[in-house]
Amino acid sequence: MSLVFRRKSVKKTRTPTGTNIMIQGRAAPANPSPNMPHRSVKYVEYYGEITDGITAGLTKDLIEYEVPDGHCAELYAIGIMPDYDPATGTSNLLDITIATNDVDMSLKFLCNHNGMNSLPYGDRASKQPIRLLDYPMRRGNLTPKFNEGVEIEIKATAGDNDVTEPVRGRIKLLLYEPADVRMYYGTDINNFASLPGGIDQTLPRRIFADYAILSSATEGKSRWNDLYKLAVKDYEEIKVTHIGIKPHANADSGKLYDHRLKWEAPEYEPYWKINEQYNALPFGDDDDYQPTQKLPSVIADHVFTNTYLKFQIRDNGSAIPAKGIAIQLFGTYRRVR
């Protein structure tokens, strides 16, 4: 069965008309058992496609979905099929971000066909399943949450060159009615987006997703260089639970580093090996045989606050060129005041 991708120019459906499945904005009939405890929760698969290109450095909406009246929405999975030209081997998509009503949610996913797709599409051509943001229908989870009438936007940004081949995306959502929200989350539907992961939190607690691409070549002297560096304020707390590295032949090792505490992980040589022949931190791309690795709790429980969160790399004595290596980080973010 072939998939028909839905473009954003097609009129969106506002009301799910009592079904529990909606595909491409059209309702599919369903007859749930009356004994099902979540019979009124609706599952949504939504697709988007950009076929008219993206100018270098600019952003376009890949998916736009408006939460229907009388419902709230939980976004729990995203898959991206980046552009790719088989004749030249080029892919010019840079990243994917999640926004709502054109307001960025500070979630950044590196998405490029050439070994840097952090949101695998999850189809038969992909060695990795679709990216799960968090487990849905669980209190305290960090899935992005939206109230009725809000537009969920998945935005695609081009890199240094124009995107000329199609970019495709898919998202997985759950729609809740008021009784569902009370049952599963113990609150009123109007407060759903104020729960952890929601867009209306006063003190945000959400997924952390960010990336970096090596901005300048290393010196070829086996010295530590900052591949990733983020200033974390004293009212912010970040935990890093997963790291994916796109390796390079001249890369030797990498480590996570807390600048204020002088804490590093791993703590001893040989650190994480990140060479093309033996990469201890697989990126989790469509073509990877291994997913992004979850870090052990002694690392994943470390709290970065009032510091620089760094990931440092070391070459093997030969320089790593600019853009020769990249990193994607996942974890949790919390603002305490």
Going by their DSSP bridges, the two strands 307-315 and 167-176 should be labelled as unpaired
Q: What is the pLDDT of residues 120-145, one digit of tens each?
A: 999 988 999 999 999 999 999 999 99
Q: Is 225 in contact with 316 (CB distance < 8 Å)?
A: no
CA distance 50 to 166: 6
Stretches where the chain sits below pLDDT 50 are: 1-15, 17-36
Q: Is 301 in contact with 308 (CB distance < 8 Å)?
A: no
Q: What is the pLDDT of residue 22?
A: 37
Residues of the chain within CATH 2.60.120 domain(s) are 21-200, 209-335
CA distance 154 to 65: 9
Q: What is the pLDDT of residue 11?
A: 39
- Give me the architecture of the 209-335 domain, per CATH: Sandwich (2.60)
Backbone torsions φ then ψ of 194, nearest 5 degrees: -95, -5
Q: Is 251 in contact with 274 (CB distance < 8 Å)?
A: yes
- Beta-bridged to residue 229, according to DSSP, are 310
Q: What is the pLDDT of residue 276?
A: 94
Q: What is the pLDDT of residue 126?
A: 93
pTM over 0.85: yes
CA distance 260 to 329: 20
Going by their DSSP bridges, the two strands 21-23 and 42-50 should be labelled as parallel
Q: What fold does the segment set 21-200 form as a domain?
A: Jelly Rolls (2.60.120)
What number of other Cβ atoms are within 10 A of residue 191's Cβ? 16
Average pLDDT, the chain: 90
Structure tokens given for 231: 């200033």
Q: Is 40 in contact with 183 (CB distance < 8 Å)?
A: no
Place of tokens 């912010």: 236
The CA radius of gyration of the chain, in Å to the nearest whole number, is: 21
Going by their DSSP bridges, the two strands 205-213 and 59-66 should be labelled as unpaired
Helix (H, G, I), strand (E, B) or coil at 285: coil
